[in-house]
Amino acid sequence: MRILVADDDLVSLRLMERMLQKSGYEVVTADNGQEAARILSRVGGPRLALIDWMMPGLDGPNVCRVIRDRHDDSYVYMVLLTSKQSSGDVVQGLEAGADDYLTKPCHPAELRARLHTGRRVLQLEDKLVEAREKMRFKATHDSLTLLWDRGGILSLLQSELSRSAREYSPVSLLLCDVDHFKRVNDTYGHQVGDEVLQEVSKRLKDAVRSHDAVGRYGGEEFLIVMGATGTIELQERAEQIRSAISCLPFLTAYGMLEISISIGAITIEGWNKSVSIEPFLKDVDDALYRAKAAGRDRVIYTVASTAA
């Protein structure tokens, strides 16, 4: 594990560095408070730190304050090294954001024990963050396809429309429906139907750009939100997405199946916050209905009924 050691006394710095390296740490050093704060603030910087109280520029407590003022999810466990021993000094350091303190000169065994405690705290924090992210994912994603669920994709659409209004850029929507999906379920069973939905989801995600969003809108319907995409580009990309589904048969537990999708497509320009997203969803749903009525496995484009 990487650890930052910050001390303006170079002899003490090198002695601490060698001792920690022998204990298996990857040591990063700083000889002043500004450099220590900069290193700890970097993305992917050390999450364990030994910081001397007295340093030029920023002292140890102020380094702690700078790091605690950050607003990200990466917690840094900081131990102050100090010759100060009064309870008032200890309280000052802890209130500045330090997690622990050691009186100099510190005993190697005590130092290793305190750092081991810090590592346990960081491991616990990592587990809590992982659990929180799993809960967040489950709350916004469809369990079968792992795509955004209906609420998640509509929230992303709302955010994308807000961004497009600020930047005066278009947003395009694709509403996709698996053709004859009821026949698949009735003929081959719901297990095969689920396999088809999972493979459609995979192909849709592979066919869109990294900044586009794909969600399961409901049943066998999928909604794709494409930011900064106008009518001309939409027509090209919609055909690519349609082709990505029908170009190769689907391998299922039953065998190979020919699957296609019908798509309703719309480009929204000039949106403002006073307009609900519902008219656009109705427009693209009407276009999808026309695509299925016209023979399926095709894209029908429509014009937004209202945008401003």
Structural domains of the chain ordered from first start: 2-137 (3.40.50.2300), 150-303 (3.30.70.270)
Residue 295 is which amino acid? G
What are 40's two structure tokens?
């700890």
Q: What DSSP string runs through 239-291?
A: HHHHHHHHSSPEE-SS-EE---EEEEEEEE-S--TTS-SHHHHHHHHHHHHHH
**How many Å apart are CA 280 and CA 172, to the nearest integer?**
10
**How many Å apart are CA 36 and CA 4, to the nearest integer?**
8
Q: What DSSP string runs through 187-241?
A: HH-HHHHHHHHHHHHHHHHHHS-TT-EEEEEETTEEEEEEET--HHHHHHHHHHH
What are 188's two structure tokens?
């081959």
- Which of 176, 175, 174, 159 has the alpha carbon at shortest distance from 271? 159
Residue 133 is which amino acid? E
Q: For residue 34, what is the DSSP state?
A: H
pTM of the model: 0.75
What are 266's two structure tokens?
């719309």
Res 145: pLDDT: 97
81 φ, ψ to 5°? -105, 125
Beta bridge partners of 79: 50, 100
Within 8 A by CB and 6+ apart from 154, the residues are: 215, 223, 277
What are 236's two structure tokens?
């090209």
Is 220 in the active site? Answer: yes
Q: For residue 173, what is the DSSP state?
A: E
Cis peptide before 56 (omega within 30 of 0): no
Per-residue pLDDT of the chain (308 residues; tens, 9 = 90+): 999 999 998 998 998 999 899 999 999 999 999 999 999 999 889 999 999 998 988 999 999 999 999 867 689 999 999 876 667 777 888 888 999 988 888 888 999 999 999 999 999 999 998 999 999 999 999 999 999 999 999 999 999 999 998 999 999 999 999 999 999 999 999 999 999 999 999 999 999 999 999 999 999 999 999 999 999 999 999 999 999 999 999 999 999 999 999 999 999 998 877 788 999 999 999 999 999 999 999 999 998 865 54
Res 308: pLDDT: 47
Give the active site residue among 195, 199, 220, 221.
Answer: 220
**How many Å apart are CA 192 and CA 246, to the nearest integer?**
17
Distance of CA 267 to the CA centre of its chain: 27
Q: How far is CA 36 from CA 53, 94, 152, in A?
A: 12, 18, 40
Beta bridge partners of 302: 266
Res 70: pLDDT: 84
Q: For residue 8, what is the DSSP state?
A: S
Does residue 206 contact residue 224 with C-beta atoms inside 8 Å?
Answer: no
